Amino acid sequence: MPHSPSSRPLDATAIAVTIGLCLSWGFNNVAIKLAIHDIPPLIQSSARSVIAAILVAIWAQARGISLLKRDGTMGAGILAGILFALEFLLIYRGLVWTTATRGVLFLYLAPFFIVIGSRWLIPGDHFHLSQWLGLLLSFVGIVIAFGLPTPAADPRQVLGDLMLVGGAAAWAATTLTIKASALNRISAEKTLLYQLVVSAPLLGLGAIRYRGAFGRRLDADARHFFVQA
Whether residue 71 is predicted with pLDDT greater than 60 in this model: the reply is: yes
Contact partners, residue 26, CB within 8 Å, separation at least 6: 104
Residue 33 amino acid letter: K
Tell me the whole-structure pTM to 2 decimals: 0.77
pLDDT, average across residues 4-28: 75
Task: Kindly report, residue by residue over 92-133, the tens digit of the pLDDT.
Answer: 989 888 888 788 888 888 888 888 888 777 766 666 777 778
The mean pLDDT of the chain is 81
Domain coordinates in residue numbering, the chain: 8-225
Give the C-alpha separation, 54 to 205, whole Å. 19
Which of the given ranges, 4-8, 93-97, 125-129, 155-159, has the highest pLDDT on average? 93-97
Q: What is the pLDDT of residue 80?
A: 96
Whether residue 152 is predicted with pLDDT greater than 70 in this model: the reply is: no
Give burial (CB, 10 Å; 0-12/13-18/19+) of 228.
middle
Backbone dihedral angles phi then psi of residue 213, each to the nearest 5 degrees: -95, -40
